[in-house]
C-alpha cells in the first residue's frame, strides 16, 4: 500500500497483457485504489472484460488492441493512453509467455525468435515508448515481469523462456541506473509459478506442475492478486528508494 492516502487517485497505469492473468489482476487492483487503467492486449474479448472489472471498481479504463511484438502497436498504445488520460504515471509490462515447453535441442529458430520478440522486445518497446513522456514529466515507475526461471535456467523445459527473462532482468537494471537521477524508477518481479492461463498455454503438463510445486516450501503456486498487490506497492510512495532490483516471489523455493 501507499504511504500517502489516495496516492493513486487520478493517476494512470498502462498495463500490457491486461486481458488476463497478472495484467488483469494489477489493472483491477490499481482501479480499486482510484487509478485510471490503459489496457493493452491482443485479446479484445478479454480486454473488454478487464475494462468492465476496472469500471466496476469506480475507475476509468481504455482498451487498446496491442501486439507488443510490434513497435507501432506499442507506440499507439502509449500515445492513445496519454491522449485519453493526460499522462501515464506507471507502466506494467505484463505481456509474456513461454510459448511452448521443450528440451534445449528442440528449440528451433522460430521458437527462440518468438520468445525474445514477446518477452524482451515487448518490454523494450514499452519502456522506450513511455520513457520520453515520463522524463518530460520528471517522474514515472516501470515494473517488468521477469521470472524465477532466470535463476534456474529452465533445463529440459524452457531455456528459451528463462534466457529471455534473464534479458528482462538485465535490461531493467540498465534502464533503472541510467535514469535514476531523472525521477524514474524501474523494477522487475520474478515470480515462481502463478495460477494463470500461462501454464496451460505453454503446454505445462500436470506432472511438470507437480514437480515445480514440490520445490516450493509453501506447496502451492502464487495467486495473481498476490503479484498484483506487489506491483501496487512497488509503484507506491512507500518504497521510493527501490529501483533496479528484481523482487523474487517464490514461496521460498525455486533458487536451485
Identify which of 48, 39, 88, 46 has the alpha carbon closest to the alpha carbon of residue 68. Answer: 39
Q: Is residue 148 part of a domain?
A: yes
Q: What are phi and psi of 96, to 5 degrees?
A: 170, 160
Q: Is residue 182 part of a domain?
A: yes
Distance, CA of 143 to CA of 127 (rounded, Å): 10
Distance, CA of 115 to CA of 143 (rounded, Å): 19
**Burial readout 96-105 (b: 16 or more C-beta within 10 A, e: otherwise):** bbbbbbbeee
C-beta contacts of 67-72 below 8 A and 24+ residues apart:
67/42, 68/16, 68/17, 68/40, 68/93, 68/95, 68/118, 68/121, 68/122, 68/123, 68/125, 68/126, 69/114, 69/117, 69/118, 69/121, 69/122, 71/125, 71/129
Q: Is residue 3 part of a domain?
A: no
Grid cell, residue 10, equals 487520478
Q: Is residue 4 part of a domain?
A: no
Other C-beta atoms lying within 10 Å of the C-beta of residue 192? 25
From the first residue on, what is the mean pLDDT of each consecutive set of 10 residues in the chain (256 residues)? 94 98 98 98 98 98 98 98 98 97 97 98 98 98 97 94 98 98 98 82 67 82 96 97 96 75
Distance, CA of 120 to CA of 30 (rounded, Å): 25
User: How many residues are listed for the chain in this entry?
Assistant: 256
Does the annotation count 248 as an active-site position?
Answer: no
The one catalytic residue in 7, 125, 161, 248 is 161
Q: Is residue 94 part of a domain?
A: yes
Grid cell, residue 191, equals 515470480
Q: Is residue 154 part of a domain?
A: yes
User: How many domains does the chain divide into?
Assistant: 1
pLDDT at 201: 62
Helix axes 21-32, 44-56, angle to 10 degrees: 20
Grid cell, residue 256, equals 536451485
Q: Is residue 127 part of a domain?
A: yes
**101 in Cβ contact with 202 (< 8 Å):** yes
pLDDT at 210: 76
pLDDT at 159: 98
pLDDT at 204: 62
CATH number for the domain including 73? 3.40.50.720
Distance, CA of 97 to CA of 208 (rounded, Å): 16
Q: Is residue 210 part of a domain?
A: yes
Distance, CA of 12 to CA of 139 (rounded, Å): 13
Q: Which domain holds residue 198?
A: 12-249
Q: What is the pTM of this model?
A: 0.95
Amino acid at each position: 500500500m501507499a504511504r500517502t492516502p489516495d496516492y493513486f487517485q487520478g493517476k494512470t497505469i498502462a498495463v500490457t497483457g491486461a486481458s488476463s492473468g497478472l495484467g488483469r489482476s494489477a489493472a483491477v487492483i490499481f482501479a480499486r485504489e482510484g487509478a485510471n487503467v490503459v489496457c493493452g492486449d491482443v485479446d479484445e474479448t478479454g480486454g473488454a472484460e478487464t475494462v468492465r472489472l476496472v469500471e466496476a471498481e469506480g475507475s476509468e479504463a481504455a482498451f487498446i488492441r496491442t501486439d507488443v511484438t510490434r513497435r507501432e502497436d506499442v507506440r499507439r498504445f502509449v500515445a492513445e493512453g496519454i491522449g485519453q488520460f493526460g499522462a501515464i504515471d506507471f507502466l506494467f509490462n505484463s505481456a509474456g509467455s513461454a510459448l511452448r515447453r521443450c528440451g534445449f535441442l528442440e528449440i528451433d529458430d522460430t521458437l527462440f525468435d518468438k520468445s525474445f520478440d514477446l518477452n524482451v522486445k515487448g518490454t523494450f518497446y514499452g519502456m522506450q515508448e513511455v520513457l520520453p513522456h515520463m522524463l518530460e514529466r520528471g517522474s514515472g515507475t516501470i515494473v517488468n515481469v521477469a521470472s524465477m526461471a532466470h535463476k534456474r535456467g529452465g533445463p529440459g523445459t524452457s531455456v528459451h523462456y528463462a534466457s529471455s527473462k534473464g534479458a528482462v532482468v538485465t535490461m531493467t537494471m540498465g534502464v533503472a541506473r541510467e535514469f535514476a537521477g531523472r525521477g524514474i524508477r524501474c523494477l522487475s518481479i520474478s515470480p515462481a509459478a502463478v495460477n494463470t492461463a500461462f501454464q496451460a498455454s505453454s503446454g505445462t503438463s500436470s506432472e511438470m506442475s507437480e514437480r515445480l510445486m514440490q520445490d516450493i516450501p509453501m506447496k502451492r503456486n502464487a495467486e495473481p492478486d498476490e503479484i498484483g498487490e506487489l506491483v501496487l506497492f512497488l509503484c507506491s510512495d512507500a518504497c521510493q528508494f527501490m529501483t533496479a532490483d528484481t523482487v523474487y516471489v517464490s514461496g521460498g523455493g525455486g533458487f536451485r
